Structure 1
Amino acid sequence: MRYVIAVAETNSFTRAAERCRVVQSALSHQIARLERELGARLFERTSRRVRLTPAGAAFLPAARQSLDAAERAAAEVAAAVGEVRGRLAVGLIPTVAAVDLPQALRDFRRRYPGVRISLRVGASEELVEQVKQGAIEVAFLGLPTTARPEGVHARVLARDRLVAAVAPDHPLAGENAVDLARLAGEVFVDLPAKTAGRVQSDQAFAAAGLTRDVAFEVTSAYLMTQLVAQNLGVALLPSAYAPQLTGVTTIEVTDAPARVEYVIWSRDGRTPAATAFLNLLDIPAADTDTDPAADDD
């Protein structure tokens, strides 16, 4: 099953063998044996490419689930005797500010060297789906105040307001504060339409009866700031993330959009590695949806 998944993800028997650290002939032999056992070919092979057959496409999700279950079973046994191992797949948006994730992952690796850590960056809505599907165990999101993660356990980490980022020589750079009406005439750099990070700003402008020109849509906060630094547009970014920005000037927005940062995990329960990681971040072990800022509202 591991070999099939590797070939499907790399579209190559050679690269799959390198990933699995076996010789290609051994990998090909094992897949051929599996195909004979199943009575169907899983891959179409030509001199130029390898691709899944319909039977292979049907087999792949079950293979992934089976391997995940096997890894989780082994991790649960290890946890029962006091050892945390297995995998920890973490997802995050680029502008996470409520948690120093690199430091947290460093501390986790030092404490639990038997856990294989992987990291994926994506949009909030994509990360929610990946947690629900079991592709990642823990994810860090940013959502508008009008939305909550659905179908997963979630805990609020922080609430934040956006600030305007402009080039140092932009006419607004000397201002202490601006409002949305003043920003509405600017060209914007923002995330793609309908993503959670974009929606919070779109909603704020719409609520104020304003429209704006988003000329540049990018998926990277780093690229956003690079475009802003070249005076190609302005951007709205979380104030807690602003100290990480270089080459731009940030300005308070009096009627700024707001966002909520969450950490989420599966409703099917935590793996031992996920539980250990969230405990390191002082997230309670109970699988409950909580908001530590609720009492402050």
Structure 2
Amino acid sequence: MHYVLVLLMLREIHCFTRVAARLSFSAAAADLGMSQPAMSQAITRLERATGVRLFQRTAHEVRLTAEGKALLPYAEQAIEAAGAFTAEAARLAMPIIHLAYPPLVGTLAARIVRRLAGRNPAVGVELRVAGRAEAARALADGEVSAAILAVPAPTAFVTRFVTGARFHVVVDHLAVPAGHRLQARPRVTAAELGGQVLLTPGTLPWPGLPGRSRMVADDDFAAALDLVAAGAGLLPIPQLLARSIRRDDVRFVPLEADGLRITYALAWSKERVTPELMALVQAVQDALWTR
């Protein structure tokens, strides 16, 4: 019977931990926004329920009894467990959006998650790293609510899905294999790429660049860098990716090529529009404006 009462008295247990921390009924009451008599009554209820005296009280001081000291760690665990229960229940009750995104825009994806978590009511986001082909398939199969994809997309895709919140990632570096004649250059111009094999992570060649294009499956920059290291070609790459990669077999050289960029857009199904999805669209737009 005592155990049942204790499980039902989390408020009183919380009061116990505050008085134990402050060794003052009045200070503990102020911490919890209670009156001192209400705090004293809560401790008395807990002592009666447990059959244990928790504090020795005099006109000048409050001290934990030996029994109170022994029970305090369990009380703190109970409060922590109750907090974890409440947090997990709130998380489970929160609407969840599943978003696929390429690794290149991971920083933007993180900002989107933070924005949706901070809104009222909050919206949870489950992130899924995926290249263009995998993200498009997951979106078509309903495995994700939305996807950030490189565009332009195929016509069949455009007729089925809505795209919005477009943004560009500037391509201003060139990945070359270690030891390549261009690695020591302070910068490389587009005109100097004639005769070179240029790797293209996607379905279209780099616009405005000379040289021969070699397509790399999907938009997988990691796989393309492996080909660079193997001497299979050179790879135009955004600076933000070049800064985050450290490889002994690849070097990154600034590239002067006006207008070279990758365009991305948020895509979602016309048939699966929800308030949470619209909140995601707004969060993406806001994150792009304030980056």
TM-score by length of structure 1 reads 0.49
TM-score by length of structure 2 reads 0.50
Q: Which structure shows the higher helix fraction?
A: 2
Higher relative contact order (CA 8 A, sep 6+): 1
